[in-house]
């Protein structure tokens, strides 16, 4: 149930009073302490009534806020905690609390890398610690996927600002395949994260086709107000809706991929689909299953399938089936004792 700020201040004040066992607390004492706290924190001069304190004590004793405070009355006059170590600040988090905090942390973690959310970084770390410890001394039970060595996050805020402002950039970039830096004009349209790496998608120079650039390969960039921003209204996050990963060329058509998954891995593929278009086509008596997805053909797609090894077979289309077979043959050859005849890798 929602609790207003003033009530929370009163609960916290009453809790602090009852924890001080070197003094006996009457209703009048608690009234005075709460009135002083509200004046200090909120500037409220109107005192707190006895009725309000009685309702607060009743609420703290109840399960409505999860406190279940062991408040007792001594000599029919003085209020204290029956358990000397009790405090409303030490209440263990419930499973529902942990679930809610998990969702909040997942959302907040997406803002890491933005300097104006620097305070959020610290808050997220503290939230993660609280969740892991569950406000107890137990070992950490939750571990988020992260890459502490990830490069390029320092560019995230500036690129985001350029996307929002529709501002052209002069970018210095060095791809993994290039020995030298490239300097070009980029018209950034949106940002994309995949497998803990960030990418910026936009139009380069005067080219019409969208291109994708990894932030960890960006050397520098700066605004170029001398060049009008080129805007493509069709180039947004939806441009990659038929894509696994970020590799896609303009005009590339999606294909229907049909594949069989073994009985051991079928449940995993059912509960964690490769793509939102995934459809269960057939489930055999032996537990294996046949699925389909509609996606564009790229390297990330092949890597996802190869990760299942012998538990996944591509049935259609024939070209993709052949490429996966070639990759498996190449991998098999690497583990042979006899010398390998040098040949082109099927990576490209």
Q: pLDDT exceeding 90 applies to what percent of the chain?
A: 52
**Does the pLDDT at position 342 exceed 60?**
no
pLDDT score of 169: 94
Residue 58 to residue 69: CA distance in whole angstroms: 9
**Whole-Å CA distances, 114 to 119, 154, 191:** 10, 8, 13
67: left (phi over 0), alpha (psi -120 to 50) or beta: alpha
Q: What is the pLDDT of residues 45-96, one digit of tens each?
A: 888 999 999 999 999 998 887 788 999 999 999 999 999 889 887 766 666 6
**What structural domains and CATH numbers belong to the chain?**
5-89 (1.10.10), 95-133 (no CATH), 153-240 (2.30.30), 255-334 (3.30.70)
pTM of the predicted structure, to 2 decimals: 0.58
**Does the pLDDT at position 110 exceed 80?**
no
The neighbouring-strand residues paired with 184 are 171
Alpha helix stretches (DSSP H) within the chain: 5-19, 27-42, 50-61, 95-109, 118-133, 156-165, 266-271, 299-306, 318-334
Q: What is the pLDDT of residues 182-223, one digit of tens each?
A: 999 999 999 998 887 889 999 998 888 899 999 999 999 999
pLDDT score of 154: 83
Average pLDDT taken over every residue of the chain: 83
Residue 84 to residue 75: CA distance in whole angstroms: 17
**Does the pLDDT at position 123 exceed 80?**
no
H or E stretch covering 98: helix 95-109
Residue 200: other Cβ atoms inside 10 A: 26
Residue 227 to residue 225: CA distance in whole angstroms: 5
Residue 185 to residue 205: CA distance in whole angstroms: 5
pLDDT band at residue 121 using 50, 70 and 90 as cut-offs: low
pLDDT score of 135: 45
């Amino acid at each position: 149930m929602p609790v207003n700020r003033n009530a929370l201040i009163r609960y916290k004040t009453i809790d602090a009073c009852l924890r001080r066992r070197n003094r006996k607390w009457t209703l009048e004492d608690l009234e005075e302490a709460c009135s002083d706290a509200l004046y200090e924190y909120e500037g409220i001069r109107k005192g707190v009534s006895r009725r309000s304190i009685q309702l607060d004590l009743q609420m703290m004793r109840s399960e409505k806020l999860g406190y279940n405070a062991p408040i007792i009355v001594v000599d029919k006059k003085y209020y204290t905690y029956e358990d000397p170590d009790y405090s409303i600040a030490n209440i263990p988090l419930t499973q529902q609390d942990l679930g809610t905090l998990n969702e909040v942390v997942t959302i907040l973690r997406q803002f890491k890398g933005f300097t104006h959310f620097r305070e959020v970084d610290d808050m997220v770390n503290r939230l993660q610690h609280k969740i892991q410890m569950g406000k107890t001394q137990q070992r950490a039970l939750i571990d988020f996927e992260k890459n502490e060595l990830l490069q390029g996050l320092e560019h995230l805020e500036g690129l985001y600002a350029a996307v929002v402002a529709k501002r052209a950039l002069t970018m210095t970039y060095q791809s993994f395949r290039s020995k030298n830096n490239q300097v070009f004009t980029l018209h950034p349209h949106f940002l994309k994260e995949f497998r803990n790496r960030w990418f910026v998608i936009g139009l380069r120079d005067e080219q019409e086709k969208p291109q994708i650039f990894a932030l960890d390969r960006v050397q520098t960039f700066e605004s170029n107000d001398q060049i009008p921003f080129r805007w493509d209204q069709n180039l947004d996050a939806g441009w990659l809706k038929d894509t696994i990963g970020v590799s896609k060329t303009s005009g590339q058509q999606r294909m229907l991929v049909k594949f069989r998954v073994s009985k051991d891995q079928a449940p995993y593929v059912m509960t964690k689909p490769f793509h939102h278009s995934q459809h269960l086509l057939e489930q055999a008596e032996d537990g294996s299953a046949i699925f389909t997805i509609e996606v564009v053909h790229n390297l990330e797609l092949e890597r996802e399938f190869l990760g299942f090894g012998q538990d996944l077979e591509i049935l259609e289309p024939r070209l993709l089936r052949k490429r996966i077979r070639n990759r498996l043959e190449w991998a098999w050859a690497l583990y042979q004792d006899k010398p390998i005849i040098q040949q082109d890798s099927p990576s490209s």
